[in-house]
Structure 1
Amino acid sequence: MNLSIVIPLLNEAESLPELYAWITKVMQKNNFSYEVLFIDDGSTDDSWKIISDISHDDSHIKGIRFQRNFGKSQALHAGFAQAEGEVVITMDADLQDSPDEIPELYKMITQEGYHLVSGWKKKRYDSVISKNLPSKLFNWAARQTSGVKLNDFNCGLKAYKNEVVKNIEVSGEMHRYIPVLAKNEGFTKIGEKVVIHQARKYGTTKFGMSRFINGFLDLITIWFLSKFGKRPMHFFGANGVIMFGIGFIAAFIIGARKLYKLYMGEPAILVTQDPWFYISLTTMVIGTQLFLAGFIGEMILKNKSNISRYKIAETSGL
């Protein structure tokens, strides 16, 4: 199979028939063997009914419906688990991503050897203040932190080699950072393609300013996980040893000075009356806690089990 198209969605009933017809037209024109996986992330409108009806009439269409809204990352994870195509395309269901971009993205993966190609919505039709400016700031911070030189991390239109989606774990709200996750797994040939961004035709956006705040918090998380996710002792343990060492040396110096004064017959206050003694003691306690945090982190990594992050209510066409 050439292509798997994974489309997470939430309350996009108005867009789905048009999107389905558009994708089908592009697939037939290019003679692709394909499947389309619609992942209904707990829609409360008629989205699932439309997906179910289409999948009964067209064997290329498959659907997964979550019991409730678990988030875009979880929807992508479910789609990636089912994807069978040589190349996996992700796109949004709101008609702002153009299926006409798919053939070129497919060629960049299969002919130019990219592991992943991300779309870049260079010209956008979103609000400048509420989306464009925060997005530019977010993308700049993501480039500086991750080392992945993409202009648009948030673009939902991306193409992957199948082996990429099978070797990354998309959890929490990490869908924005799939290129970083791929890089961390050794898939380093990451490209970018300018794509058409279309104005929303139906409904309203599901994202507010909070997604950018969450995005920056997730950026800190993925930076930490990239560096220390598989070796927490290197961060917590190392800093714990340093802090304990500083506190221990300081306490030793304080005690030695008091003993020297007593030996020389000079008046000296009790060690416990010196505020610096408590500062050094606190530093040693914090250092010990950090070391134990690293040790516990290592134990959790060694014994962690796979836990389901979402519940599927039903499927169609699978």
Structure 2
Amino acid sequence: MNLSILIPLLNEEESLQELYTWIIKVMQLNNYTYEVIFLDDGSTDNSWSLISKFAAENPNIKGIRFMRNFGKSQALHAGFAKAQGDVIITMDADLQDSPEEIPGLYNMITTEDFDLVSGWKKKRYDSVVAKNLPSKLFNWAARKTSGVQLNDFNCGLKAYKNIVVKNVEVSGEMHRYIPVLAKNSGFNKIGEKVVQHQARKYGETKFGMERFVNGFLDLITIWFLSRFGKRPMHLFGAMGSFMFIIGFLLAGYIGVSKLYHMYNNMRYNLVTDNPWFFIALTTMILGTQLFLAGFLGEIILRTKNNEERYKVASELNL
């Protein structure tokens, strides 16, 4: 099978018929063997009814429906697990991603041997204040932190080799960082393609300004996981040991100073009258806690079990 097209969605009934027709037209013009997997992330409108209709008339149309809204990352995780195509394309369901871009993305994977190709919405039709400026700041921070030189991390239109999606674990809200996760898994040939961005035709965006706050927090998380996720003791243990040694040396200096004053019959105050005593004590306590945090992190890594992150209500043609 040439292509698997994954479409996560939430309450997009108005755009689904047009999107479905457009995708099928592109598939037929290019003679692709394909599957389209609609990932219904707990829609409360008639989205699933439309997907069921598409699946009934076309066996290449498949669907996964969550019992409630679990998030885009979980939807993609479920889709990646089911995808059978040699190349996997992800795109949003709001018609802002054009299916006409699929052949170009597919060719970059198959002929130029990229592991992953990310779309770049160079010309956007979103609000400048609400999306464009925060997006540019977010992408700049992501490039500096991750080392992956993409202009648009958050573009939903991406193409992957099958082996990439089968080896990348997408959890939480990490869908925007799949290129970083792929790089951390050893897939280094990551490309970018300028794609057409269209103004939203129906409804309103499901994402607010909070996605940028969450995005920066996720960026910190993924930076930590990429560097210390497999060895938390290297960070917490080192910091804890350093702080404990500093505190111990301060405490030792205070103790030796007091003994010196006692031995020479010099006037001295109680140890607790010295503010450095409390600084030394606090530093040693914090150092011990950080060391234990690293130790517990190592234990958790070696004993953790994979837990179910979402509940599937029903599937179509899968």
Normalising by structure 2, we get a TM-score of 0.99
Matched with 1:12 is: 12
SS of 1:198 mapped into structure 2:
coil
Runs of at least 4 residues off by over 4 Å: none
Matched with 1:175 is: 175
Query: Does residue 75 of structure 1 match 2:75?
Result: yes
Matched with 1:159 is: 159
Distance in 2, Cα, partners of 1:298 & 1:33: 46
Query: How far is the alpha carbon of 1:53 from its aligned partner?
Result: 1.1
Matched with 1:122 is: 122
Distance in 2, Cα, partners of 1:237 & 1:285: 13
Query: How far is the alpha carbon of 1:272 from its aligned partner?
Result: 2.5
Distance in 2, Cα, partners of 1:119 & 1:203: 23
Distance in 2, Cα, partners of 1:52 & 1:300: 42
SS of 2:88 mapped into structure 1:
strand
Q: What are the within-5 Å matches in structure 2 for residues 134-153 of structure 1? A: 134-153=134-153
Query: How far is the alpha carbon of 1:35 from its aligned partner?
Result: 0.4
Matched with 2:105 is: 105
SS of 2:76 mapped into structure 1:
helix
Matched with 2:221 is: 221
SS of 2:255 mapped into structure 1:
helix
Matched with 1:235 is: 235
SS of 2:13 mapped into structure 1:
coil
Matched with 1:185 is: 185
Matched with 1:86 is: 86
Greater alpha carbon shift after TM alignment, 265-274 vs 195-204: 265-274
**Which structure 2 segments of 5+ residues have no match?**
none
Q: CA-to-partner distance for each residue in 1:133-183, whole Å, 9 max, x for gaps? A: 110111011111111000000100000001110111101110010000000
Q: CA-to-partner distance for each residue in 1:29-54, whole Å, 9 max, x for gaps? A: 11111100100000000000000111
Distance in 2, Cα, partners of 1:143 & 1:131: 18
Query: How far is the alpha carbon of 1:264 from its aligned partner?
Result: 1.5
Greater alpha carbon shift after TM alignment, 25-34 vs 271-280: 271-280
Matched with 1:44 is: 44
SS of 1:159 mapped into structure 2:
strand
Query: How far is the alpha carbon of 1:260 from its aligned partner?
Result: 1.0
Distance in 2, Cα, partners of 1:290 & 1:49: 52
Normalising by structure 1, we get a TM-score of 0.99
Query: How far is the alpha carbon of 1:265 from its aligned partner?
Result: 1.6
Query: How far is the alpha carbon of 1:261 from its aligned partner?
Result: 1.2
Q: CA-to-partner distance for each residue in 1:55-112, whole Å, 9 max, x for gaps? A: 0110110000000000000000000000010010000000110111111111111111
SS of 1:14 mapped into structure 2:
helix
What's the RMSD between the two structures over aligned residues?
Answer: 0.7
Q: How many residue pairs were aligned?
A: 318
Matched with 2:309 is: 309
Query: How far is the alpha carbon of 1:267 from its aligned partner?
Result: 1.1
Distance in 1, Cα, partners of 2:34 & 2:259: 81
Matched with 1:26 is: 26
* Residue type at the aligned position of 1:185: S
SS of 2:204 mapped into structure 1:
coil
Q: CA-to-partner distance for each residue in 1:243-299, whole Å, 9 max, x for gaps? A: 001000110011011111111221111222222111101100000000000000000
**Which structure 1 segments of 5+ residues have no match?**
none
Identity %: 74
Distance in 1, Cα, partners of 2:3 & 2:233: 41
SS of 2:159 mapped into structure 1:
strand
Q: CA-to-partner distance for each residue in 1:210-235, whole Å, 9 max, x for gaps? A: 11111111111111111111111011
Distance in 2, Cα, partners of 1:2 & 1:201: 30
